[in-house]
Chains A and B, each alone.
Chain A
Amino acid sequence: MSITREEVAHLASLSRLALGEDELDRFAGQLDVIIAAVARVQEVAAEGIPPMTHAAGVINVFRDDTVVPPLGADAVLSQAPSAEQGRFRVPRILAED
């Protein structure tokens, strides 16, 4: 049930959080306590109980295939940390694969 510092480092990496060593220590301790507490859900006899993902019991909500005017490049690029040639400039991407 307990979580190791290495696991926390892995979670931080999965979550794209560049944590310092001291942060890792602190979070490892805190997450350990929290995970132990939330693990109480496992005490509940939930055999055959359907999971509930939505409070609203609604189905089939669709929209028609009609155009809504988009924002326009200027509006979206004005908030970009960096832009070039009408595009969002981002640091070099390491190949996904």
Chain B
Amino acid sequence: MSGELTGLTAAAIAASVAAGDVSAVEVTTAHLDRIEAVDASVHAFLHVAADGALRAARAVDDQRAAGRPLGPLAGVPLALKDVFTTIDMPTTCGSRILAGWQPPYDATITKRLRRAGIVILGKTNMDEFAMGSSTENSAFGPSRNPWDLSRVPGGSSGGSAAAVAAFEAPLAIGTDTGGSIRQPGAVCGIVGVKPTYGGSSRYGVVAFASSLDTPGPLARTVLDAALLHEAMSGHDPCDSTSLDAPVPPVVAAARQADVAGLRIGVVTELSGAGYQPGVLARFSEAVELLESLGAKVGEVSCPHFSYALPAYYLIAPSECSSNLARFDAMRYGLRVGDDGTHSAEEVMSLTRAAGFGAEVKRRIMLGTYALSSGYYDAYYGKAQQVRTLITRDFDAAFEQADVLVSPATPTTAFPIGERADDPMAMYLADLCTIPSDLAGNAAISVPCGLAAEDGLPVGLQIMAPVLADDRMYRVGAAVEAALDQRRGHPLLDEANGLGAAGPGREAGR
């Protein structure tokens, strides 16, 4: 019973709860049991809120019993990245400096989830302050990839991706700044979405890089991602950069799942040297598949994409050096060295040295450097110009194609520890995802098979213009349906990192 419930999609759970076939409490209990059973191995969660989750589930059941209408995802459990503030749970961002911090307010998205009757199971592990591509930068230890526990689940939203891939939750929310949703989604074999920048609220999302941070859904199916996308998105007056525009019709698009006549552009610059052969093979097959489904496929060139990574590693650290200045031991969080002999300035420096991990320190110093007078124009200023050029590349490409496609990541999941001491190698994991963060357009990663050489999942990235998020859902759902049909089962059924514990198979969907 419990295995069956954790194997269900969010859409199926919501339908069953609404129909009264199963209670939200039963669904929640099943997922809490699953977490209990596997999270010691996966370490997707930093905090599990069993009581709060059951309380929220009971409220949904009561609501149904009272005959009041339920939202489209009412009673569905969700894993929330530990970067969203929650009034009833600690919010640490994977950092020692915030260990135990209990925010006095809910993020806008947290509020929307609660209002929608979505059951928040707990907070998921992440690279410290969302800086990283593996969760190895979490102060609380890495999460593990359910396909192979010796490998990373990607990052920074690695805990969220691992939770969904390990059937600990059907839905999760992450944030994408340079690929932090799509990359872990891809390497965990699930769907990860970066909505259009401004499409989902940043209020209550502890900032990494303000002009890039974008909350988005992770799910096992494109439709589930779309349902969550609609539930969490929309204009927020508390976020000045939030777009005052209707949420694109992503659920309808996911249901439409049709690419006939759609123009699909393959980005020339996002392939070739440095890409794992198995990744390129699966990617090519996916493109051929799209063509066979009636899409018009052509190559498009985005010449400035090769400068996206350097531009990103100037813009994001610059903003983070300022955003993270507030962690100074004065008002909340860790305080080190307050023994009466040290000044406030010294206590700040001692606390930040002890509270931040190496990657965060590197980026803060890099950003401080890039913003310094004398360097600003050559680094930060130049990076912003590159950002304009990349956006123009997208504009031109979207003249020729309705959506653009590329691999979501250059490689599959790498072994834990392999890149931990080599920042530049780690940064390459976001090579394909960064351009859309810089330009602010929408992008999704959809599983497209396993790489032959390591048997690990490969993601297909589909990029759509600003506020045309629905297009990529159409394409993603079509690819997903065709591949599932060809394979005879969802890709995740083949995950065996947790041995026989894979509930997908038990469920026999």
Q: Is A15 touching B307 in the complex (CB atoms < 8 A)?
A: no
CB-nearest residue of chain A to B345? A94
Interface 9-mer from B5-13, B115-123, B125-133, B237-245: B237-245
Check A90 against B349 for contact (C-beta < 8 Å): no
Among residues 292 to 340 in chain B, which have CB atoms less than 8 Å away from a CB atom of chain A? 304, 307, 309-311, 313-314, 321, 325, 328-335, 338, 340
Roughly how many angstroms separate A76 CA and B369 CA in the complex, as a whole number? 33
Given contacts A41-B311, A56-B241, A81-B335, contact A90 B197 (CB under 8 A): no
**Min CB gap A2→B, angstroms:** 12
Which residues of B are found within 8 Å of A50, using beta-carbon distances? 385, 388
A19 contacts B361, C-beta separation under 8 Å: yes
Mark each residue of chain B from 466 to 484: 1 if its CB lies under 8 Å from any CB of chain A, else 0: 1000000000000000000
Q: Contact check, B365 vs A15: say whether CB atoms are below 8 A apart.
A: yes
Which B residues touch A56, using CB under 8 A?
Answer: 197-198, 241-243, 440
Does A67 lie at the interface of the complex (its beta carbon under 8 Å from any beta carbon of B)? Answer: no
Asked if B15 CB lies within 8 Å of chain A CBs, one says no
Asked if A71 and B198 sit within 8 Å, CB to CB, the answer is no
State A80–B340 Cα separation when bound (angstroms).
17
Interface contact B197-A55, CB-CB below 8 Å: yes
**Interchain CB contact (< 8 A) of A34 among B307, B362, B384, B386:** B362
Cβ-neighbour of A46 out of B314, B369, B382 (below 8 A): B382
1/0 contact trace for B431-447 toward A, CB 8 Å? 00000001110000000
Identify which of residues 14-49 in chain A touch chain B, using a CB-to-CB cut-off of 8 Å: 14-20, 23, 26-27, 30-31, 33-35, 37-44, 46, 49
Task: State whether A17 and B352 are in contact (beta carbons under 8 Å apart), knowing that A51-B388, A94-B344 are contacts in the complex.
Answer: yes
Partner of B344, one of A31, A76, A93: A93
Closest residue of chain B to A54, judged by CB? B211
Contacts of B385 in A (CB 8 A): 41, 44, 46, 49-52
**Interface residue B272 (Cβ < 8 Å from any Cβ of A):** no
Residue of B nearest to A14 (CB): B368
B401 surroundings in chain A (CB, below 8 A): none
Interchain CB contact under 8 A, B241 and A93: no
Tally B residues with Cβ within 8 Å of A: 73
A85 lies within 8 A of chain B by Cβ: no
* Residue in B closest to A77 when the chains form the complex, CB atoms: B331
* Contact for B361 among A3, A27, A38, A71, CB less than 8 A: A27
Contact partners of A42 in chain B: CB under 8 A? 378, 382
Q: Residues 151-189 of chain B: 1 if any A CB is under 8 Å from the residue's CB, otherwise 0?
A: 000000000000000000000000000000000000000
Give the residues in chain A near B383, CB-CB below 8 Å. Answer: 38, 41
Given the known interface contacts A37-B424, A38-B379, the answer about A11 and B388 at a Cβ–Cβ threshold of 8 Å is no
Asked whether B313 lies within 8 Å of A46 as measured between CB atoms, the reply is no
> Is there contact, CB below 8 Å, between A79 and B332?
yes
Given contacts A40-B307, A94-B345, contact A18 B197 (CB under 8 A): no
User: Do A58 and B365 touch across chains, with their CB atoms under 8 A apart?
Assistant: no
Asked if A15 and B321 sit within 8 Å, CB to CB, the answer is yes
Known pairs A11-B365, A17-B364, A75-B104; A54 contacts B241 (CB<8 A): yes
Q: Which residues of B contact A13 (CB under 8 A)?
A: 349
Q: How far is the CA of A41 from the CA of B65 in the complex (A)?
A: 60
21 sampled A-B residue pairs with Cβ under 8 A: A16-B328, A17-B352, A19-B361, A23-B353, A23-B361, A27-B365, A33-B424, A34-B313, A38-B366, A38-B370, A38-B383, A41-B385, A42-B382, A44-B386, A52-B387, A53-B211, A56-B241, A56-B440, A58-B240, A79-B331, A81-B331
